[in-house]
């Protein structure tokens, strides 16, 4: 582990999300004095001039270059057309369903489902990191006759008062406010990665505690703060679906689905330390009777001490089985910020490729620190399950450079000369050993390549088969070729046990976002369902909803939207009364 002593480094507390007002327009002092940001610059390289970090140019809100109600679609000159493309919001559209959709054998469940997507939908001028795009929520709902699409921006201070913002994001900023007359404010909150339904609360998530809450019906922004003694949180909490009960009847399993337990893993220093060896797993508990806005509380279940301190410890995507919560203990390592051409948090740090994990036994709250024979960044875990050998965990692995790909300049370079292996490693399958009988977790996690030479990401699966050791499939988006594909341009169905490619779908000029699995029913076959994806046709300069038969990946139907929906990470599916977070 490198120590950050000689570099200007960011501390976990830098991720404090709540904007503050300043009395004076002394940006440096303002950032330095804010609780949390004090720690942010705790180890300063004396040669570094802080003022150089602030954007030299003023940034105004970008005028929207999007087509409106469907008729006149203008092709954007932006990279691939659907990156860095601001949407015109709010937006409300309806589309009559076609015969092909209505006569689909699984139509009954499809026609009662809703898909939500969390989209980087607004790119003010000066924002050159894709996943800093301001969070916007799309809802696609199906009834017996129509599909409707609603999109609204999440009303953060960056969205509402960009002109007075000092925006500090993953790869953007700190920016200089364009409006000199306005009171400047630090704008940090932008929950743009994933979504989490919990009780009757709907949260927008990100890997810091700066989550946001919306009304799932109106998509309006609501008050809501997550109460956790950490600046870091998981964009993908590990939620128990309660569906996997081998002995339970479908009715029992179904009625259980609401009793969902969601866990998060986070650094839990005793003092507000930058560098900590304390790691925790806690449960997310919605609070209703609270006089303040702390509506989601993280209750500590388990704590471990690592043999060495970690810097900005993070776990993007922990997973869950009936008896365990499994987290990869990733971290950020300091890099030399001088002249590296980056901005935002990534100017100072990148993800470390490390091999520590934390495994909590849900029956006892006891945690184990274990080590894999592979060191990597865990992009996503998906459907973990327990077997005779232990806990089987599959991972989309990434490199230290992975997050850098979303800088505009790197995406431009990538679109000319794709280099997938710079950002991804081979997907792997690891087994965390568990001693039968005692349930003791062993230290040595063994990993092997899951799918030779196949790169994919945004894995998804039938949510009724979560944690089920008999699950056979998962789905993902992938490049057709790591030599020539400039983005995710194919949908794949993969055998979960062998890693073999079973089916695929691709069409010239079409790029894809994550597919969401809409299951036909609790009792139906695992691959009986619809995959919902938002595609982008670069030849048309426009996006469409794509519905696939999940068993064959045959395209059931498509709905041109007449506008550009920017690329985005994640969404969730609601069928009847149940909403399934990802994964
Ligand atoms: C949708 O759900 C409602 C309420 O559960 C039900 O009455 C209706 O028949 C369902 N529609 C279809 C097409 O299954
Ligand atoms: C279905 O949705 C469309 C469009 O939103 C709406 O006009 C229609 O009334 C809805 N039908 C039913 C049965 O709710
Ligand atoms: C685990 O910790 C939580 C929070 O302290 C507690 O409510 C729960 O009972 C504990 N479970 C066990 C099995 O000790």
Kindly report, residue by residue over 225-261, the tens digit of the pLDDT. Answer: 999 988 899 999 999 876 666 555 656 655 555 557 9
Q: In this predicted structure, what is the pLDDT of residue 322?
A: 92
Confidence (pLDDT) at 79: 67
> How far is CA 563 from each of CA 66, 82, 511, 537, 538, rounded to the nearest angstrom?
7, 10, 15, 11, 12
Ligand 3 contacts (CB < 6 A) are 299, 301, 364-365
| pLDDT > 50? residue 133 | yes
Q: Of all protein residues, whose CA lies closest to atom 2 belonging to ligand 3?
A: 301
The mean of the pLDDT values for the chain is 85
Q: Whose CA is nearest to atom 14 of ligand 1?
A: 108
- Reported as a single tens digit per residue, the pLDDT across 312-330 is 899 999 999 999 999 999 9
Determine how many CB atoms are found less than 10 A away from the CB of residue 476. 26
Q: How far is the CA of 145 from the centre of ligand 2 (A)?
A: 6
Percentage of residues in the chain with pLDDT exceeding 90?
68
What is the structure's pLDDT at 428?
Answer: 98
Rg (CA), the chain: 23
Neighbours of 252 (CB within 10 A): 11
pLDDT recorded at residue 455: 95
Q: Band of the pLDDT at 339, cuts 50, 70, 90? A: confident
The ligand 2 atom at the shortest distance from the C-alpha of residue 145 is 1
Q: Is the CB of 144 under 6 A from ligand 1?
A: yes
Q: What is residue 250's predicted lDDT score, i.e. its pLDDT?
A: 59
Per-residue pLDDT tens over the stretch 380-393: 999 999 999 999 99
Q: Which of 26-30, 133-137, 207-211 has the lowest mean pLDDT?
A: 26-30
pLDDT of residue 255: 55
Rounded to whole angstroms, how far apart are CA atoms 464 and 223?
32
Give me the count of residues in the chain. 583
Nearest CA, atom 1, ligand 1: 112
CA distances to 33, 424, 481 from 398, rounded to whole Å, are: 35, 4, 18
Helix (H) or strand (E) holding 52: helix 50-53
* Range among 34-43, 292-301, 332-341 with highest mean pLDDT value: 292-301
pTM of the prediction?
A: 0.89
Give me the residue label for tokens 């507390």. Answer: 13
pLDDT at 271: 78
- Ligand 1 geometric centre to CA of 430 (Å): 41
H or E segment and range at residue 114: strand 113-122
Task: Kindly report the number of other CB atoms within 10 A of residue 125's CB atom.
Answer: 16
Average pLDDT over residues 166-182: 87
Residues 6+ apart with CB under 8 A from 410: 404
Distance between CA atoms of residues 425 and 442, nearest Å: 25
Please report, to the nearest 10 degrees, the dihedral formed by the alpha carbons of residues 320, 290, 278, 303 taken in order: -50
Residue 404 has what DSSP assignment?
G
Q: What pLDDT was estimated at residue 412?
A: 92
Please tell me the distance from the alpha carbon of residue 82 to that of residue 121, in angstroms, as a whole number.
10
Ligand 2 centroid to 138 CA: how many Å? 18
Ligand 3 center from residue 301 Cα (angstroms): 6
């Amino acid at each position: 582990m490198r120590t950050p002593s000689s570099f200007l480094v960011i501390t976990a507390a830098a991720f404090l999300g709540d904007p503050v007002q300043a009395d004076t327009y002394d940006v440096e002092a303002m950032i330095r004095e804010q609780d949390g940001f004090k720690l942010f610059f705790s180890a300063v390289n004396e040669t570094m001039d802080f003022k150089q970090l602030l954007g030299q140019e003023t940034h105004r809100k970008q005028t929207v270059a999007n087509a409106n109600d469907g008729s006149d679609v203008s092709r954007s000159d932006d990279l691939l057309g659907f990156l860095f493309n601001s949407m015109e919001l709010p937006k409300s559209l309806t589309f009559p369903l076609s015969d092909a959709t209505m006569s689909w054998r699984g139509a009954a469940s499809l026609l009662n489902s809703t898909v939500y997507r969390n989209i980087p939908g607004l790119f003010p001028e000066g924002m050159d990191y894709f996943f800093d795009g301001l969070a916007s929520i799309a809802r696609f709902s199906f009834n017996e006759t129509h599909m409707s699409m609603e999109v609204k921006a999440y009303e953060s201070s960056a969205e509402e008062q960009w002109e007075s913002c000092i925006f500090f994001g993953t790869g953007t900023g700190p920016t200089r406010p364009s409006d000199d007359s306005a009171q400047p404010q630090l704008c940090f909150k932008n929950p743009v990665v994933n979504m989490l339904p919990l009780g009757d609360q709907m949260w927008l998530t990100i890997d810091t505690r700066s989550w946001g809450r919306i009304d799932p019906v109106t998509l309006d922004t609501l008050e809501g703060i997550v109460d956790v003694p950490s600046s870091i949180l998981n964009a993908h909490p590990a939620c128990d679906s309660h569906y996997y009960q081998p002995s339970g009847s479908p009715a029992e399993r179904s009625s259980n689905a609401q009793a969902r337990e969601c866990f998060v893993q986070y650094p839990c220093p005793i003092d507000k330390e930058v560098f900590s060896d304390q790691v925790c797993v806690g449960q997310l508990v919605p609070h209703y009777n609270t006089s303040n806005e702390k509506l989601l509380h993280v209750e500590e279940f388990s704590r471990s001490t690592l043999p060495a301190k970690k810097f900005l410890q993070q776990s993007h995507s922990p997973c869950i089985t009936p008896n365990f919560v499994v987290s990869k203990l990733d971290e950020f390592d300091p890099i030399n910020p001088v002249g590296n051409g980056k901005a935002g948090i990534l100017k100072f740090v990148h993800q470390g490729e490390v091999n520590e994990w934390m495994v909590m036994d849900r029956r006892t709250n006891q945690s184990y620190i274990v080590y894999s024979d592979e060191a990597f960044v865990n992009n996503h875990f998906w459907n973990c399950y327990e077997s005779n050998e232990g806990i089987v965990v599959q991972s989309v692995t990434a490199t230290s450079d992975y997050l850098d790909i979303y800088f505009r300049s790197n995406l431009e370079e990538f679109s000319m000369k794709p280099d997938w292996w710079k950002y991804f490693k081979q997907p792997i399958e690891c087994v965390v050993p568990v001693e039968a009988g005692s349930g003791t977790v062993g230290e040595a996690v063994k990993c092997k390549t899951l799918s030779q030479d196949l790169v994919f990401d945004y894995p998804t699966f039938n949510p009724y088969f979560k944690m089920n050791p008999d699950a056979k499939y998962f789905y993902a988006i992938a490049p057709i070729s790591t030599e020539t594909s400039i983005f995710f341009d194919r949908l794949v169905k993969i055998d979960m046990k062998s890693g073999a490619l079973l089916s695929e779908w691709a069409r010239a000029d079409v790029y894809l976002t994550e597919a969401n699995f809409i299951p036909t029913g609790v009792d139906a076959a695992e691959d009986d369902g619809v995959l919902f994806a938002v595609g982008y046709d670069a030849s048309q300069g426009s996006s469409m909803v794509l519905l696939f038969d999940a068993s064959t990946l045959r395209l059931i139907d498509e709905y041109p939207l007449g506008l550009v929906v920017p690329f985005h990470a994640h969404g969730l599916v609601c069928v009847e009364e149940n909403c399934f977070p990802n994964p």
